[in-house]
Structure 1
Amino acid sequence: MLHIFIFLYYGCFMQKDNTQQIQKAIVAGNGPSLTAIDYARLPLSYEVFRVNQFYLEDAYYLGKNIRAVTFAHQTLFEHIYTMQVLNNTQEYKIDSVIINDSPFISTSRDEFHVKSNFLLRVLYKHSFIDTLYNGRLSENIGEFLEYDSLQKLYSNKNPRSGIYLCAIAVALGYREIYLTGIDFYEGKNYAFNHSKTNILKLVPDGFENITLPQEPQQESYHSKAADLEALEFLAKTYNVEFYSLSPASPLSHYIPLAPITNNTAKPEKKPSNYTNDIILPPEHAYRTFRALNEHIDYSKRGRVKNNFYLKLLYDLARLPRDLKYCFKKPKRF
């Protein structure tokens, strides 16, 4: 396990704090419009934000340099490892992983091979990893986090990962955000084939089927309405301008197209041996991590059991029964 975390440390790139120079961000989902970017509308300077299985793309649609990525909790352990591999092989240059650690996200599903909340505790304050709710970014976007929590709690609405990626960009200081690949799962779900061997081992039913239980009359937990309302909140609260880079995207009906800049960028074809599946850590990493998790849980139980005040309360609760037993007359035979 030690060499895994050494790898995690040396494989990462230090986070850049260059939002003072570059105020424009491109947030890319993995919907079909990712492959239909109007490159003449790309800003001349920008930072890129990506989500989930972005590395399955067959070309570098937005280059190799990525400011931040975010992932679903179902594959967090494996994806953090995969990002280190991609950095070390120089397939991509990823500055940071930023996780949506909302308290309303379930981590009890059977397919969560490693508890993501425990993983985030272990990697707390790591230079490569941060969290949206409890990390360094939270104070920059407090109003949105409150809005998001109330929407989940009372309206059963949860924006998709691409929208949280927008919130992450806002928290990092970007106020002009260009969107592509956020298509509300209309028509074809993804710009590429994501039904890969290792991914299906981790999430057999696919990511789009993972939702919270809901009543028949309730709106879908993930929905276009939830996404658009969250974008509107970000725009109004933080004075953010959103633009679409893909004229054919359904999102272009709701936000304006980016202006023409005559950018001459083009997608770069990937080599034939590019990484086209999530990379699973060695089996001993799972065993060691689970053992560490169990040890921490056991230690916590031990501390609780030996806590003086809890023992005092327990003894007080037992006192009436003990007194009754003490003064009870012995039976005659």
Structure 2
Amino acid sequence: MSNNSGKHFLVVGNGPSLASIDDRRLDSSAYVVRVNNFFFESQYYTGKRVDLVQVGGDRWIFPFYSKTLKRVLKVNEYDIRGWSSHQPKVAKRGQTLLEEVPFRRMSYRDNHVKRTVERLSLKHRAAPTTGIFAVVNAHAMGAETITLAGIDFYEGSRRYAHHIGPRASEVVLAHKNYNNFYHSAALDVEIIDYLCARGDVVVQKASTAIRTISHLPLAPLYAEHISAEPKSEVINDWERWVGPWPLTLAKKLRRLREIQKYGARS
């Protein structure tokens, strides 16, 4: 059962460490925020309840994402209670395409947070990753403690804890580490450190495996904790078609947008 007081949030990324976290550090009463393609996981690593999904990406790919999520809702036993996006065009389009799941607008606790995220983004000429936007959103919803799980900053040789099918992998595995068209590890860490310095939230980690956030405190052991559960069926790829449009076309449009905006850098 989720903590309706909004005090403790669990922000769960899809990094490899998610598969080896000590479950006892995952408070069962926490408000659970998952990220992007969390449903590709081979088991319910943080249980079936998902209070919020933070969705990134772009408007070209989102129709295929939303169609896949609808299939997941029919096949798997997730209890998905809401979704949010920091991408205005995705948020607008998704409210039509994903009516099955309530939408929650991305927000900031106050204007200082919003201005700081914008200033740091300009400084690094990048945007925060979806996992960091999930942290900012959790902070806005009143979190007093945020536990990070599976937020690995792409440190290792693998990007994700789960296997990704061939259609999705051409997009999400196109970059070995950070997608430097859009993101920066230094920016993500600076935003976390800024939130920690404010004094109105404690950001802690569920694993000691990630060097990038080695300075964050380790989450305590909870008597009532989330336990991983097996899945009877695993979906690990996006749908191939949405109406008459193939995913291959959406990927080409996305790549064209990257080149137009950022040139050929990778």
By the TM > 0.5 criterion, same fold? yes
2:196 corresponds to which of 215, 218, 235? 235
| Aligned partner letter, 1:65 | R
CA distance in 2, matches of 1:232, 1:128: 31
Would you say 1:279 and 2:239 are equivalent positions?
A: yes
Quick one: which amino acid aligns to residue 103 of structure 2?
A: I
SS of 1:255's partner is coil
Given that residues 50 and 80 in structure 2 are in contact (C-alpha distance below 8 angstroms), is that contact kept between their aligned partners in structure 1? yes
Q: State the secondary structure of the residue aligned to 1:242.
A: strand
1:108-119 pair list within 5 angstroms = 116=90, 119=93
Q: 2:84 aligns with which of 86, 98, 107?
A: 98
Paired-residue identity, %: 27
Show structure 1 runs of 4+ deviating over 6 A.
123-127
Separation in structure 2 between the aligned mates of residue 129 and residue 281 of structure 1, nearest angstrom: 24
What CA distance in whole angstroms lies between the structure 1 residues aligned with 2:98 and 2:111?
20
Q: Compare CA radii of gyration and give the structure with the larger one.
A: 1
Change (3 A) 1:141 1:281: farther
Is 1:255 matched up with 2:230? no
SS of 1:49's partner is strand
Residues 1:38 and 1:118: Cα distance change in structure 2 (over 3 Å): closer
The code of the aligned residue for 2:151 comes to I
Tell me, yes or no, if the aligned pair for 2:124 and 2:187 is still in contact at 8 Å. Answer: no
Distance 1:242 1:209, change over 3 A: closer
Matched, 1:79 2:40: no
In structure 1, C-alpha distance between the alignment counterparts of 2:208 and 2:91, rounded to whole Å: 39
In the other structure, the counterpart of 2:262 is: none
CA deviation map 1:214-243 (0-9, x unaligned):
xxxxxxx53332111101222333611111
Of 135, 138, 145 in structure 2, the residue corresponding to residue 166 of structure 1 is 135
Q: Deviation of residue 35 (structure 1)? A: 0.9
Match of 2:251 in 1: none
Q: 1:84 to 1:246 in 2, by over 3 A?
A: same
Alignment match, 1:197:
166
- The CA RMSD over aligned residues, in Å, is 3.2
44, 58, 74: which one aligns with 1:60:
44
Instruction: Answer yes or no: is the 8 Å Cα contact 1:124–1:130 preserved in 2.
Output: no
1:1-333 alignment, distance < 5 Å: 20-74=4-58, 75-101=61-87, 116=90, 119=93, 128-132=102-106, 137-138=107-108, 140-188=109-157, 189-194=159-164, 196-200=165-169, 205=174, 210-212=179-181, 222-237=183-198, 239-263=200-224, 265-271=226-232, 273-280=233-240, 282-284=242-244
Corresponding residue SS for 1:178? strand
For structure 1, which segment, 140-149 or 61-70, has the greater mean C-alpha deviation from structure 2 after superposition?
Answer: 140-149
Letter in 1 for 2:146: I
Q: TM-score, normalised by structure 2?
A: 0.77
Matched position secondary structure for 1:277: coil
RCO higher in structure (CA 8 A, sep ≥6): 2
Deviation of 1:205 after TM superposition, in Å, equals 2.8
Following superposition, the deviation at residue 203 of structure 1 comes to 6.0
Work out whether residues 39 and 263 of structure 1, in 8 Å CA contact, stay in contact via their aligned partners in 2.
no
Question: Structure 2 counterpart of 1:276, which letter?
Answer: N
Q: Aligned partner of 2:54: which letter?
A: T
Q: 5+ residue gaps in structure 2?
A: 247-266
Whole-angstrom CA distance in 2 between matches of 1:120 and 1:238 = 34
Task: Provide, for residues 8-32 of structure 1, a one-character-per-residue CA deviation record: whole Å limited to 9, x for no partner.
Answer: xxxxxxxx9x764352111111111
The two structures have a TM-score, normalised by structure 1, of: 0.63
Higher helix content, 1 or 2: 1
Q: In 2, Cα distance between the equivalents of 1:285 and 1:160?
A: 27
